[in-house]
Structure 1
């Protein structure tokens, strides 16, 4: 059975634009997914990246154009300048880690719900009530927002180290058990083809 390690930041608009396509691809191929939220700013610092606000104006201008284009193409609502961004990604990341450990709900749905809250619903994903709502909507105990904070913090830090070791440098980033890496929501088709044995 194929497996995909999915490295993501809950602040990433491109992870939001991935929607639930990864889960659809995994279901088609009988693949499993491990969700690995991480600190994207720390990842940038470790792998030669630059935070969006510090990028050259031409790159910022491209991003401002491309995000709405991609959202329209995918039929997803998007505010390219959300009210609560950037915010603290740790609470939402810890919730994903706790939910994955607890089981019983839809982790992919939780991830997309958190990203949608930030990029389409003008909600602050650092707030407990927002995280609790997302947990409940995905079929998890909202109390997971309060439990496992220490283990969540440890896993969050470990995910960063694993990402660097695996050659990850952005979000969303997909790594197959065969060592193939795919960066960006616009490479999900390639991931699908790889799992089909066509690439």
Structure 2
């Protein structure tokens, strides 16, 4: 059985634009998945990237145009300048880590719920009420927001180290069990073709 390690950030607009296509691709090929939320700004610092706010104005303008086009392409609502961005991504990431460990709900829905809350619903995903709401909507116990904080923090830090060690430099980033790497929501079709043995 194929396996995909999914490195992403709960504040990443391009992770949001992936929607649940990754989950659809994994299901199509019978692939298992491990969700690995990380601090993408810290990752940029480790791998030569530049945080969006520090990029040249031409790059910032292109990013805004591209986000709007990609959102239309995939039928997803988006606010290019959300009210609560950036915010602290750690609490939502800890909730995903706790939910993955606990099981019983839909992780893909949970991840997309946080991303949608930030990029389309003008919610602060660092707030406890938003975290509980997203957990419950995805079929998880909202009390997971209260548990596993230490484990979540440790796993979150490990995910960053693992990402840097394995060649991850942005989000979303997908790595298959044969070490094929795919960066960006616009590479999901290539991931699909790879799992089908076509590329």
Q: Same fold (TM over 0.5)?
A: yes
Q: Which residue of the partner structure matches residue 194 of structure 1?
A: 194
- Tell me the secondary structure at the aligned position of residue 10 of structure 2: coil
Alpha-carbon distance in 1 for matches of 2:132, 2:177: 32
After TM superposition, give the deviation of residue 13 of structure 1 in Å: 0.2
Aligned to 1:113: 113
Alignment of 1:53-64 (within 5 A): 53-64=53-64
Cα drift, residue 30 of structure 1: 0.2
Could you tell me how far apart the structure 2 residues matched to 1:12 and 1:69 are? 16
Shift of residue 64, structure 1, vs aligned partner:
1.0
1:41 CA drift (Å): 0.9
Map of 1:50 onto structure 2: 50
Mapping 1:110-189, distance limit 5 Å: 110-189=110-189
Alignment of 1:5-154 (within 5 A): 5-154=5-154
| Alignment: residue pair count | 199
Structure 2 residue ranges without an equivalent (≥5) = none
Q: Give me the whole-angstrom Cα distance separating, in 1, the residues matched to 2:33 and 2:109.
A: 13
Q: Structure 1 residue 59: deviation in Å?
A: 0.5
Cα RMSD of the aligned pairs, angstroms, is: 0.3
Distance 2:121 2:57 in 1: 27
What's the offset of the Cα at 1:78? 0.3
TM-score (norm 2): 1.00
How far residue 128 of structure 1 moved from its aligned partner, in angstroms, is 0.3
SS of residue matched to 2:7: strand
Shift of 1:106: 0.3
3-state DSSP of counterpart to 1:83: coil
Cα distance in 2 between the residues matched to 1:27 and 1:85: 32
Give distance in 1, aligned partners of 2:148 and 2:21: 29
Q: Which runs of 5+ in 1 are unaligned?
A: none
